[in-house]
A = this chain, B = another copy of it.
Amino acid sequence: MYSSEEKKTYMEAAFAEAEKARRQDEVPIGAVVVGPDGQIIGRGYNRRELDEDGTAHAEILAIKEACQKLDSWRLIDCNLFVTLEPCAMCAGAIINSRIKEVYFAAMDPKAGAAGSVVDLFSVEKFNHHPKVIRGLYKEQGAQLLKDFFREIRRKQKLAKKAQENCQKD
């Protein structure tokens, strides 16, 4: 179990990843994997549009990097911090790679697979059950997404206006 200070440090690192996505007009979601010795061994941010790859979610990329770093598909005693509740794919990847603890910020009422829509971490029959810590910096996680989508709508509105003005000319 981490101290409040450690949790803050790791979640801030996940938010720093999300910020990289935001700066490239990707839905801002970031994740980090913390290794057994407390070092961050995997980082990832949503790159779905950038890579044109439906599997390029923050958690998947962070897990892949951590596996590479440890040269093992089993991320024993590793923990994951992510700014949004994992989707089914990412929750499955967390189970498959034996992540010990999952800390996430905002809930995802549309696709969340850690309690919102389904709860894959509590399915008894699966062979691994990560401990889940919900709601760490949840307001910050939700606000980040809210601001992003507001900005998208603002840009769309401006583009529409510009198009209308063009047609008038």
Q: Does A87 contact B (CB under 8 A)?
A: yes
**CB distance B127 to A123 under 8 Å?**
no
Closest to A57 in B: B96
Instruction: Give the number of times this chain occurs in the complex, counting copies.
Output: 2
* CB interface residues, A 65-112, toward B, < 8 Å: 67-68, 70-75, 87-93, 95-98, 110-111
Q: CA separation between A123 and B91, bound complex, in Å?
A: 15
Q: Encode A123-146 as 1/0 by CB contact (under 8 A) with B.
A: 101110000000000000000000
* CB interface residues, A 29-61, toward B, < 8 Å: 48-49, 51-57, 60
Known contacts: A110-B127, A111-B126, A123-B118. The answer to whether A75 contacts B54 by CB under 8 A is yes
**CB distance B126 to A54 under 8 Å?**
no
Interface on chain A toward B: helix, strand, loop, or mixed SS? Answer: loop
Q: What total of chain A residues lie within 8 Å of the partner, measured CB to CB? A: 41
Q: CA separation between A78 and B111, bound complex, in Å?
A: 22
Q: Does A117 contact B (CB under 8 A)?
A: yes
Q: What 19 additional pairs, Cβ within 8 angstroms, besides A52-B71, A88-B113, A111-B126?
A: A49-B73, A51-B67, A52-B67, A53-B64, A53-B73, A54-B93, A54-B96, A55-B67, A55-B97, A56-B73, A57-B96, A88-B95, A89-B92, A91-B92, A110-B125, A111-B127, A117-B125, A117-B126, A118-B120
Identify the A interface with B (CB < 8 A). Answer: 48-49, 51-57, 60, 63-64, 67-68, 70-75, 87-93, 95-98, 110-111, 113, 117-118, 120, 123, 125-127
